[in-house]
């Protein structure tokens, strides 16, 4: 199992990306809960962020695709606005063991 980082390495209301094998994924922490997604927008399959680890909108309420402005629910990856409404981000299975985030 690949260890990404310790849960305390990611601050609340922020996100961090990781290269794992041939995938780029990102972890979002919101209200102390963690969510992990493939960094690929369902609109046209390219990375969401322009700046490193900049995956959230200004209010830190949604995941934002910087390319064409799609908004995704942090909790389930559902697209609720933009050109790919109804197409969710791909969730990446993970677990937390001894404070470390591990991919399954
Ligand atoms: S690539 Fe994400 S909204 Fe177009």
67 in contact with ligand 1, CB cutoff 6 A: yes
Beta-strand relationship, 94-97 and 79-81:
unpaired
Q: What's this model's pTM, rounded to 2 decimal places? A: 0.97
What CATH number did the domain enclosing 85 receive?
2.102.10.10
Domains in the chain, number: 1
**Amino acid 75: pLDDT:** 98
**Spacing, Cα 100 to ligand 1 middle (Å):** 31
Full domain range(s) for residue 17: 3-103
**Amino acid 1: pLDDT:** 77
Ligand 1 atom nearest residue 66's Cα: 2
29 in contact with ligand 1, CB cutoff 6 A: no
**Amino acid 56: pLDDT:** 98
Contact (Cβ atoms closer than 8 angstroms) between residue 29 and residue 10: yes
**Spacing, Cα 56 to ligand 1 middle (Å):** 14
Please state, in angstroms and rounded to a whole number, the distance separating the CA atoms of residues 11 and 3. 17
Tokens of 92: 């990446």
Consecutive sets of 10 residues in the chain, 104 residues long: mean pLDDT of each?
Answer: 95 97 97 98 98 98 98 98 98 97 96
Beta-strand relationship, 23-30 and 79-81:
unpaired
């Amino acid at each position: 199992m690949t260890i990404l980082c310790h849960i305390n390495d990611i601050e609340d209301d922020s996100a961090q990306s990781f290269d794992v094998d041939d995938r780029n994924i990102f972890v979002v922490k919101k209200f102390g809960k963690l969510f992990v997604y493939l960094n690929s927008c369902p609109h046209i399959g390219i990375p969401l962020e322009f700046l490193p680890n900049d995956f959230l909108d200004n209010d830190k309420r949604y995941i934002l695709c910087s390319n064409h402005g799609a908004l995704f629910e942090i909790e389930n990856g559902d697209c609720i606005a933009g050109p790919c409404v109804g197409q969710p981000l791909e969730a990446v299975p993970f677990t937390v063991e001894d404070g470390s985030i591990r991919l399954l």
